[in-house]
Chain A
Amino acid sequence: MRFFVSALVSFLALANNVFAKSGTGDSVLVVIDPSLKKEDYSKFFGGLEERGYQLTFRGPRDAHPPVEQYGIPGFSHVILFTPETKSYASDITPQSLVGLLSENTNLLVTLSTKQTPLSSLSAEFSLIPPPPGTPLISHHPARSEPATVIPIPVSESPLLTPGTSPVWFSGVPHAFGNSPYLVPILRATSESFAADSLDDSGADALVDASEKAGEGLWAGSHLGLVTGFQTLKNSRVVFAGGVEMFSDEYANKALPDGTPSGNEKFVKDITAWAFRETLALRIDNTTHHRAGEEVPPETYTTNDQIVYTAHISAYDPKTSSWKPYSGITDMQLEFTMLDPHIRIALPPVAGEPGKYQVQFRAPDRHGVFKFVVDWRRKGYPLLQTSTTVPVVPPRHDQYPRFLSAAWPYYAGAISTSVGFFLFSALWLAGDVEGKKKKGLKTE
Chain B
Amino acid sequence: MVPRIALHFTWLLLAVCVHAGSLLLQNPRFTITSSTAAQLRADTLSLTEKPEPLKLEPSDTLKLTFQITEKSEGKGVQPHQTFLRFYDSVSGEEGIQPVRVTPGGKAKFELNMARPPASLPPTTDHPLEVSLILGSFVHEPTTFDLFDLYVPSSYTPVPHPDEAKFHKLPLIHHTFRPEQKLPPKFVSAIFAALVLSPWLVLLGLWSKIGVRVPHLFSPRIIPFTVLLGAFEALLCWYWVDLKLGQVLLYGGILAIPTIFAGKTALAATGEWRTGKN
CA distance A190 to B218 in the complex (A): 113
Asked if A364 is at the interface of the complex by the 8 Å CB criterion, the answer is yes
Asked if B208 is at the interface of the complex by the 8 Å CB criterion, the answer is no
Asked if B185 is at the interface of the complex by the 8 Å CB criterion, the answer is yes
New A-B contacts (17) at CB < 8 Å, excluding given A258-B4, A417-B235 = A144-B11, A178-B159, A179-B160, A203-B81, A207-B98, A214-B118, A220-B85, A221-B94, A222-B121, A330-B168, A341-B174, A405-B183, A405-B188, A411-B192, A429-B221, A430-B214, A432-B272
CA distance A329 to B216 in the complex (A): 78
Nearest chain A CB to B41 CB, angstrom units:
26
Identify which of A216, A376, A410, A426 contacts B166 (C-beta below 8 A).
Answer: A376
CA distance A374 to B165 in the complex (A): 8
Instruction: Provide the A390-406 mask, 1 if CB < 8 A to any CB of B, else 0.
Output: 00000000001001111
Identify which of B101, B141, B212 contacts A203 (C-beta below 8 A).
Answer: B101
Instruction: Provide the A320-341 mask, 1 if CB < 8 A to any CB of B, else 0.
Output: 0000000000101010000011
25 interchain pairs (CB within 8 A)? A138-B135, A141-B141, A144-B15, A179-B162, A181-B162, A200-B136, A201-B78, A203-B101, A210-B97, A216-B119, A217-B97, A217-B98, A219-B96, A220-B96, A221-B94, A256-B12, A258-B8, A341-B172, A361-B176, A377-B166, A405-B188, A410-B192, A411-B196, A412-B195, A432-B273
- Name the residue on A nearest B211 (C-beta): A426
Asked if A120 is at the interface of the complex by the 8 Å CB criterion, the answer is no
CA distance A5 to B149 in the complex (A): 78
- A-side contacts of B157, CB under 8 Å: 178
- B-side contacts of A411, CB under 8 Å: 192, 195-196
- A-side contacts of B15, CB under 8 Å: 142, 144
Nearest chain B CB to A53 CB, angstrom units:
30
Instruction: Provide the B162-191 mask, 1 if CB < 8 A to any CB of A, else 0.
Output: 110110111111101100101101001101
Nearest chain A CB to B214 CB, angstrom units:
6
Q: Which 8 A-B pairs have the closest CB atoms?
A: A139-B135, A216-B119, A429-B216, A219-B96, A220-B96, A139-B141, A343-B172, A408-B191
Asked if A435 is at the interface of the complex by the 8 Å CB criterion, the answer is yes
Contact A429 B213 (CB under 8 A): yes
Nearest chain A CB to B244 CB, angstrom units:
10
Instruction: Provide the A426-437 mask, 1 if CB < 8 A to any CB of B, else 0.
Output: 101111100100
- B-side contacts of A377, CB under 8 Å: 166
CA distance A190 to B15 in the complex (A): 24
CA distance A158 to B16 in the complex (A): 39
CA distance A220 to B131 in the complex (A): 13
Contact B118 A215 (CB under 8 A): yes
Tell me the B residues contacting A by CB distance below 8 Å: 4-5, 8, 11-12, 15-16, 19, 77-83, 85, 87, 93-101, 117-119, 121, 133, 135-138, 140-141, 143, 157-160, 162-163, 165-166, 168-174, 176-177, 180, 182-183, 185, 188-189, 191-192, 194-196, 198-199, 211-216, 218, 221, 224-225, 228-229, 232, 235-236, 265, 269, 272-273, 276-277
CA distance A411 to B191 in the complex (A): 9
Nearest chain B CB to A147 CB, angstrom units:
7
Nearest chain B CB to A219 CB, angstrom units:
4
- Name the residue on B nearest A345 (C-beta): B171
Contact A197 B80 (CB under 8 A): yes
Contact B99 A207 (CB under 8 A): yes
- A-side contacts of B99, CB under 8 Å: 207
Among A217, A332, A341, the one with the most B-chain Cβ atoms within 10 Å of its Cβ is A217
CA distance A426 to B119 in the complex (A): 106
What is the size, in residues, of chain A's interface with B at 8 Å between Cβ atoms? Answer: 78
CA distance A412 to B196 in the complex (A): 7
Identify which of A178, A258, A341, A345 contacts B160 (C-beta below 8 A).
Answer: A178
- Name the residue on B nearest A144 (C-beta): B15
Asked if A202 is at the interface of the complex by the 8 Å CB criterion, the answer is yes
Tell me the A residues contacting B by CB distance below 8 Å: 138-142, 144, 147, 178-181, 190-191, 193, 197-204, 206-207, 210, 214-217, 219-222, 256-258, 303, 330, 332, 334, 340-345, 361, 363-364, 374, 376-378, 400, 403-408, 410-412, 415, 417-418, 420-421, 424-426, 428-432, 435, 439
CA distance A421 to B236 in the complex (A): 13
- B-side contacts of A429, CB under 8 Å: 213-216, 218, 221, 225
Identify which of A144, A341, A415 contacts B196 (C-beta below 8 A).
Answer: A415
- Name the residue on A nearest B170 (C-beta): A343
CB-CB under 8 A for A342 and B172, given A138-B135, A178-B160, A180-B160 = yes
- A-side contacts of B118, CB under 8 Å: 214-216
CA distance A410 to B196 in the complex (A): 10
CB-CB under 8 A for A200 and B87, given A216-B95, A421-B229 = no
- B-side contacts of A147, CB under 8 Å: 135, 137
- A-side contacts of B158, CB under 8 Å: 178
- B-side contacts of A257, CB under 8 Å: 8
- A-side contacts of B213, CB under 8 Å: 426, 429-430
Nearest chain B CB to A91 CB, angstrom units:
31
CA distance A200 to B82 in the complex (A): 11
Contact A219 B276 (CB under 8 A): no
